[in-house]
Amino acid sequence: MSGESPSFLERHQFLIYRLFSLAGFVPVGAFLIVHLLTNASILAGDGGRTFQSRVDMIHSLGPLLVPVEWAFIFLPMIFHAVVGFVIIANGLPNVGSYPYVSNLRYTLQRATGMIAFAFIIWHIWQLHALGKPFGGGRFDAHEAASSTAAVLGSTAVSILYCIGILSAVFHFANGLWTLGITWGLWTSPAAMRRANVVSIAVGVVLAAAGLGAVAGFRSLPADSASHGHAASAVHETLPPSSP
């Protein structure tokens, strides 16, 4: 029940929800695409050289990297997450009573959002420099492939990464479709169906890239350095066929 005067959040609900929707696409979604495709470069078959060069490119920002990360990744993501939790808290999923595909997607959108959020926290703790004070932060920009491979060496971690990546990808691809409705890009049922095909395609490509990267890191020889020799095994363990 609302009080006498609506809160800031209530007064600007439309704007906040639209920014929330937008943030999911750019920059958060865009970052997801870049991130997954960058990681997928581990599949180049050169033992991580391409991957390392991409990482180097990112890190060439030097001292600017931290503000850029915060401005374009962390803050938008936190905003998206916080508003997302408010939305989830106010919804009442009912897929049991109304087992329609789009309703299932509604429920999954919320579930994958929460999973992806938890995963990202964990992922940041584990690999990002921010995790260092808490015993994580194991990614080494100079040894990008091998430091990542070391973390993903654990099967349990890899499985959790696969779940996390798939959640994030579903959340993004499905979110892309709903974003189009929210903003009014596709309005007719037929247009929604066409947009759906595109969203599914985007999802499949990103899922392939994400899972492929996990497989790629895992197939790097444990002792192979980022500047080291290509591992011939890479080709034999290309990503599992697309989900």
Interface residue list for other proteins (CB under 8 A): 1-2, 6, 10-11, 13-15, 17-18, 87, 90-94, 96-98, 100, 102-103, 105-107, 109, 177-178, 181-189, 192
Q: Is 175 exposed, middle or buried (0-12, 13-18, 19+ CB in 10 A)?
A: buried
Q: How far is the CB of 172 from other proteins (least distance, A)?
A: 15
Nearer to other proteins, 100 or 134 (CB): 100
Q: How far is the CB of 40 from other proteins (least distance, A)?
A: 29
Vertex 174, ends 172 and 180: CA angle to 5°?
100
230: helix, strand or coil: coil
Tokens linked to 129: 């420099």
Nearer to other proteins, 175 or 212 (CB): 175
Separation between Cα atoms, residue 39 and residue 52, nearest integer Å = 10
159: helix, strand or coil: helix
* 116-151 burial: b if 16+ Cβ within 10 Å, else e: bbebbebbbbbbbbebeeeebbbbbeebbbbbbbbb
Nearer to other proteins, 95 or 162 (CB): 95
Q: What is the DSSP string of 45-61?
A: SSTTHHHHHHHHHHHTT
Nearer to other proteins, 9 or 71 (CB): 9
Q: How far is the CB of 183 from other proteins (least distance, A)?
A: 5
Q: How far is the CB of 42 from other proteins (least distance, A)?
A: 35
Nearer to other proteins, 93 or 228 (CB): 93
* Strand spans (E) along the chain: none
Q: How far is the CB of 212 from other proteins (least distance, A)?
A: 30
Nearer to other proteins, 11 or 229 (CB): 11
Tokens linked to 33: 């695409």
Residues 6+ apart with CB under 8 A from 27: 72, 73, 76
Q: How far is the CB of 44 from other proteins (least distance, A)?
A: 38
